[in-house]
Structure 1
Amino acid sequence: MTSEIVAGLRAAQPSPVGVTGARGSEYGELGRQVRHASLLDRRPGWYCARIAVNLGLLAAGWAAFVLVGNSWWQLGIAAFLAVMFTQFAFIGHDAGHRQIVSGRRASNAVGLLHGNLLVGLSFGWWLAKHNRHHSHPNQIDRDPDIGAGAFVFTPADAGRRRGLGRLLTSYQAYLFFPILLLEGLNLHVASVRELVGRRGRLAVVEALLLTVHFTAYLAAVALVLSPVRAVVFVLVHQALFGLYMGCTFAPNHKGMPILARDEPDFLRRQVLTARNIRGGRLTDLVFGGLNYQIEHHLFPSMPRPSLRRAQPLVRAFCEARGLAYQEAGVLGSYGEVLRWLNEIGAPSRHPGRENRLVTAGNLVGLAPRLRTSQGARE
């Protein structure tokens, strides 16, 4: 894992592996159109302004925390800080893909400061994991984001569950949002656990930044709040942080076709497994640009403010080639995620029930979506 983390920091985005032949030239043509429109040009001014605003809001939040003092009104500040932590995580995500600056060291510095220091998450651990996801989205045994954990996303993983795990899988669609309340704490624990066994200068830097974050965070809470209010504040803050994070990442791929093996080319591998979220500028802000998941996966280094401009170009390109371009509203996207989780868990609730998940070639999906994907490939 340590070598993967170092490699991830050296190569902040996957290359379009497998882009060869006639289909490979399609991605090359799309890339030329995107570059011609200057959509891959860095936007440092935009990011400087966004980071400055975020820092100002964070400072205002902690100032309000001190001024309000030992009061239950602090729970409102906990909710506000949960939003700000997620907004900082979005900047760390963009830094990991070198959207802000092209240099590796500068990108890593931004990522470490936002991830480890400001949010309390290991940037190196997350980036190594995230790069594997980008290289093989929704691919069984290769995408860590669909590996069995609190939720399972494939019939095979569901079939292996026993005891309490099987019971949780049975009702995972109903437990989806409640379990997301634990995601913030899970990310913190995973970050610390990953750093425990690591060696080298990067591990030391990450550990020091995490130590500063947790020390300052817990000291502030302990000094201002009574023990009971302090515990409740931390629980509310971390629960809402996890819920917000989970709600912005889950709609991107969950409920989309799962690949049993690599698609033959980068373009189809990225488009068929991603879902965009329809909306306006507010949606862009709330989702941190992840609502343009198709464009982001095709061009990971594209700066966040350019994704909206790239969308009509990419959509038209896909439609001209009969390639399914999936979009949904915010509520509709959550509905698709929940339907998928429910279908995966249904056989555990009703033994002997036939699973409505169908398989064709190397795609696994719900029948209506699968037909759309098949038609796009014929």
Structure 2
Amino acid sequence: MYYTVRFGAVALALAGGIGAFFALGNSWSQLIVAVFLAVVFGQLGLAAHDLAHRQVFSRRRPSEAGGLLVANLLLGMSYGWWMNKHTRHHANPNHEGKDPDVSPDILVWSQRQARKAKGLPRFIGKHQAALFFPLLTLEGLNLSFASFKALRKPSMKRPVLEGTLLIVHFVLYFGALFTVLSPAKALAFIAVHQGLFGIYLGSVFAPNHKGMPMIEEGMRLDFLRRQVLTSRNVRGGALIDVFMGGLNYQIEHHLFPSMPTPALGRAQIITERYCAELGIPYHQTGLLASHREALSHLRSVGEPLREAGH
């Protein structure tokens, strides 16, 4: 029932946004629609996440079919590529050598990575805390670019199907924009929509692990400690539950990745008590505080680069 209501509400919001887009026509008021659809796309991303974890369907086929529909066709992001990446993240969160989410790319996540950084990452790393949110405006486009790039990798199980769905998405997306809107308005719509979509995704996923302890090669942690120590919960009640799609219970999600979202709140009480009994640090804070911690970490790990510049 929970997922029927939640996914139904997102589907209605998507249909409403598309309807408003065609009703408004060639108008600058479309930028309001772009803002609205950025939030809807963020919710679609959260839906794809839950489908990938089999929180919605217990069987593989309907989970994959739903994931391909939501991720590839509606979002323009490869389900197979993201699934492979996210599975590796869950197995070794915040592990410098094994978690793709903390691999040094544009940003660096540890002082060790900072000292080895060269080129653009070295330049951005000096100011990455200040640049973090501006860079998030490119995250939506980055996910699509990485998705097309991944189609050639041997790890992709259905490259033709996934590639076809991605192409259909962008043909419809750009086709609608440049048919209904003037080129200037279409480009402005894309900038607002994709930029805010990226910020939304980053605002949901960054508080989960950024600023939590990093695991270096050679460190030995059991499953419980590996998941709890590297994850952060975000308090905030029903509003945060909706905004973050249940990922505010990140510790419980990592311990029980296939657990449906509505059960995570109840699991949180049990998990916190159990960690207290074992003396395992269990960290949760508010949304703004979580971002402060994440940005503080980014600033700290970029320190060697700033010192090298003096």
Specify the TM-score bucket, using the shorter chain as the normaliser: over 0.9
Per the alignment, do residues 199 and 268 of structure 1 end up closer, same or farther by CA in structure 2, a change over 3 Å counting?
Answer: closer
Q: Give distance in 2, aligned partners of 1:201 and 1:143.
A: 21
1:244-296 deviations in whole A, cap 9, x for unaligned?
10111011001000111454311010000000001110100001111000000
Per the alignment, do residues 340 and 231 of structure 1 end up closer, same or farther by CA in structure 2, a change over 3 Å counting?
Answer: same
Matched, 1:204 2:160: yes
Q: Give distance in 1, aligned partners of 2:18 and 2:42.
A: 15
**Residue matched to 1:191:** 147
TM-score (norm 2): 0.96
Q: Give distance in 2, aligned partners of 1:60 and 1:157.
A: 45
Q: Shift of the alpha carbon at 1:163?
A: 4.2
Trace 1:145-156 onto structure 2 (pairs within 5 A). 145-156=101-112
Per the alignment, do residues 60 and 251 of structure 1 end up closer, same or farther by CA in structure 2, a change over 3 Å counting?
Answer: same
**Residue matched to 1:325:** 282
Q: Give distance in 2, aligned partners of 1:141 and 1:201.
A: 25
**Residue matched to 1:87:** 43
Matched, 1:267 2:224: yes
Query: 1:284 aligns to what SS in structure 2?
Result: helix
Query: 1:350 aligns to what SS in structure 2?
Result: helix
Larger C-alpha radius of gyration, 1 or 2?
Answer: 1
**Residue matched to 1:360:** none
- One of 95, 99, 124 as aligned partner of 1:139: 95
- One of 54, 64, 67 as aligned partner of 1:108: 64
Give RMSD over aligned pairs.
Answer: 1.5
Per the alignment, do residues 235 and 156 of structure 1 end up closer, same or farther by CA in structure 2, a change over 3 Å counting?
Answer: same
Per the alignment, do residues 199 and 215 of structure 1 end up closer, same or farther by CA in structure 2, a change over 3 Å counting?
Answer: farther
Q: Give distance in 2, aligned partners of 1:349 and 1:113.
A: 45
Q: Give distance in 1, aligned partners of 2:234 and 2:290.
A: 7
- One of 10, 20, 34 as aligned partner of 1:64: 20
Query: 1:301 aligns to what SS in structure 2?
Result: coil
**Aligned partner letter, 1:231:** L
**Residue matched to 1:219:** 175
TM-score (norm 1): 0.79
Per the alignment, do residues 123 and 164 of structure 1 end up closer, same or farther by CA in structure 2, a change over 3 Å counting?
Answer: closer
**Residue matched to 1:172:** 128
Q: Give distance in 1, aligned partners of 2:48 and 2:239.
A: 20
1:215-245 deviations in whole A, cap 9, x for unaligned?
1111110111001100111111111111110
Matched, 1:338 2:295: yes
**Residue matched to 1:303:** 260
Q: Give distance in 2, aligned partners of 1:172 and 1:199.
A: 31
Per the alignment, do residues 279 and 192 of structure 1 end up closer, same or farther by CA in structure 2, a change over 3 Å counting?
Answer: same
Q: Shift of the alpha carbon at 1:140?
A: 1.5
Q: Give distance in 2, aligned partners of 1:157 and 1:350.
A: 15
Per the alignment, do residues 203 and 268 of structure 1 end up closer, same or farther by CA in structure 2, a change over 3 Å counting?
Answer: same
Per the alignment, do residues 228 and 198 of structure 1 end up closer, same or farther by CA in structure 2, a change over 3 Å counting?
Answer: farther
Q: Give distance in 1, aligned partners of 2:55 and 2:168.
A: 27
Q: Shift of the alpha carbon at 1:165?
A: 2.9
Q: Shift of the alpha carbon at 1:166?
A: 1.8
Q: Shift of the alpha carbon at 1:162?
A: 2.9
Q: Shift of the alpha carbon at 1:155?
A: 1.2
1:83-139 deviations in whole A, cap 9, x for unaligned?
111101111101111101110111111111110011110000000000000000111
Name structure 1 gaps, 5 residues minimum: 1-44, 354-378
Q: Give distance in 1, aligned partners of 2:120 and 2:215.
A: 28
Q: Give distance in 1, aligned partners of 2:169 and 2:154.
A: 19
- One of 114, 119, 129 as aligned partner of 2:85: 129
Matched, 1:120 2:97: no
Which deviates the most, 321-330 or 200-209?
Answer: 200-209
Q: How many residues align?
A: 309
**Aligned partner letter, 2:126:** S
Query: 1:300 aligns to what SS in structure 2?
Result: coil
Percentage of matched positions with identical amino acids: 50
1:39-73 deviations in whole A, cap 9, x for unaligned?
xxxxxx21122111111110000100111111111
Q: Give distance in 2, aligned partners of 1:144 and 1:222.
A: 35
Query: 2:281 aligns to what SS in structure 1?
Result: coil
- One of 182, 194, 198 as aligned partner of 1:242: 198
Query: 2:258 aligns to what SS in structure 1?
Result: coil
Q: Shift of the alpha carbon at 1:328?
A: 1.1
**Residue matched to 1:98:** 54
Q: Give distance in 2, aligned partners of 1:232 and 1:60.
A: 20
Trace 1:279-290 onto structure 2 (pairs within 5 A). 279-290=236-247
Which deviates the most, 239-248 or 195-204?
Answer: 195-204
Consecutive aligned runs of 4 or more in structure 1 exceeding 2 Å deviation? 162-165, 196-201, 261-264
**Residue matched to 1:182:** 138
Name structure 2 gaps, 5 residues minimum: none
**Residue matched to 2:270:** 313
